[in-house]
Copies of this chain bind each other. A is one copy, B any other.
Amino acid sequence: MNHYNQLLEISNQLGVIQGISSQLQWDSITYIPKNGIQGRADQLAFMSKLFNKKLTSSTVGTLLNSLMKKLDDFDGFQRRNISVFNKEFERMTKVPLELLSELRKLTSKGQNTWAKAREKKDFKMLKPELDEIIKLKKKIASYINPSVSPLDVFIDQFEPGMNSSLITSIFNNFRPKLIRLLEKCNKSDLNNKKTKFNITMPRNVQEAFLKDIVAYLGYNFDSGRLDQTEHPFTIGGKGDVRITTNYNEKNFVSSLFGAMHEAGHGIHNQNIPQENYFMPVNLFGGSAGFAESQSRFFENIIGKSPEFWDYYFPRFLELTKKEINEDDFVIHINQVRPSKIRIFADELTYQLHIMLRYEIEEEIFNKDLPTHEFPQIWNEKVEKFLGLEIENDAEGVLQDVHWAGNYFGYFPTYTLGNLYNAQIYNTLRKKIEFEESLLNGNIGVVKQWLVDNVHLKTGYYDPSTFLEKITNEPLNSDYFINYLTKRYEKLFQI
């Protein structure tokens, strides 16, 4: 076997290991009994050690060393396989193992403390551990790349090629336009209309309806499942990509968009070519922004469009036996109303949540903002961006687990995903009849375009290159503003 094939063989084994870990995690979140949790932690630690050991073995080092020297002998796809593997290898071997294991422990402790602190609405409880995590993260970043800011190291991990100065300039250009649109919506009668209908629904009815709708979107139940969890998520294996939602009996709209979001992730992952599933391009080449773009395409661009509901609404009524007016429903799911809690935010103000978190991350890593100032800065920015007054840490700085869970540099990918999305949507509309397809129940045409142009090749390029491949131009945040403006103008008659 030549070196390249040897590398692919190792990558394949890493994929198998990762698939096993995913399955164990899925079970931990769905079906595990409480006394099984400790044993499961041992199993996950075992698999994670195995993964790291195989990834950073001297065999891999030797293979990569030899392959990187003759990169020109390979075609583009092969070069990508080699170089993303090499990047991950370097990232993992540059950091001393004990730091990574310390971080794992801190993270797991941090998430527990976060849950308790949020319950007590007291950020001070989390502060000591957050201090430690941030200190350790800075140290780890300096091992990986001492010549850039730690924040850039983290961003690059989730969104290869992206960095904080780029994000700052995108966000700075984008925010005023967003706020102008928000002000316009705020003045609209339809946006402020009280659309009262009964939003309760028994779980079994929700289940039948959600299974129907995600299958209609293109999610394949032969290669996946839909289950219940507290927080919706998608987890994948080869030929087996599972999604979940939280069946909120008191609010089916929240279960619905949870399921549509995860269906977007699921459809994306189900359409990665099976034969390449465990190749480095897929294991290490992905971008969080592109992943988020696809979930939001199905949740928002499709799932909140009047055209989609125009076709699906009769089926919705039939399955749920609800008595709801279609127009009311479409207005309801699109209403723009600043919320203190990010996950309940609408498509527009959601971006402001991301920006405020991102600005704080920037201060943490680029300006050494001390931890004890987090709550105050948070509350000030919520007031400034959303015009809302935070009353306690649980509805403020403690609402997200990300920082306690070591996800620094992740938030911007949510907004980047939306920007990619709108730009892709702009291209897609030139190639196929988008609204017409939705209206006629031909959603498959839209899904297939996304599969052919996005899903089949995610991970084959860095995100900025990939976006250009798909849309023939670099990232331009105006597409998102234009898309939102057009949608709200029509919906709210503004």
Contact = CB atoms under 8 A, between A and B. Distances in A.
Contact of A43 (B23, B35, B36, B221): B23
A238 B34 contact: no
Main secondary structure of the interface of A (DSSP, over half): helix
Interface of A: 13, 16-17, 19-20, 23-24, 27, 31-40, 42-43, 46-47, 50, 220-225, 237-240
Question: Oligomeric state, in number of copies?
Answer: 2
A19 B43 contact: yes
Contacts of A35: 220, 222-223, 239-240
B222 A31 contact: no
A16 B24 CA distance: 12
Given A13-B46, A20-B20, A39 B222 contact: no
B17 A46 contact: yes
A43 B222 CA distance: 19
A446 B224 CA distance: 44
A42 to B, nearest CB: 5
A20 B16 contact: no
Given A20-B46, A35-B222, A40-B237, 5 more contacts: A20-B20, A23-B43, A33-B223, A35-B220, A50-B50
B43 A239 contact: no
Contacts of A23: 23-24, 27, 43
A401 to B, nearest CB: 25
A32 B39 CA distance: 22
A135 B224 CA distance: 40
Contacts of A225: 31, 33
Given A36-B240, A237-B36, A43 B31 contact: no
B24 A20 contact: yes
A19 B40 CA distance: 9
A239 B20 contact: no
A280 B213 CA distance: 50
Contacts of A222: 33-35
Nearest to A24: B23
Contacts of A27: 23, 27
Contacts of A38: 238-239
Contacts of A31: 225
Contact of A240 (B40, B47, B50, B220): B40
A50 B50 CA distance: 10
Contacts of A24: 20, 23
A420 to B, nearest CB: 28
A46 B38 CA distance: 23
A323 to B, nearest CB: 27
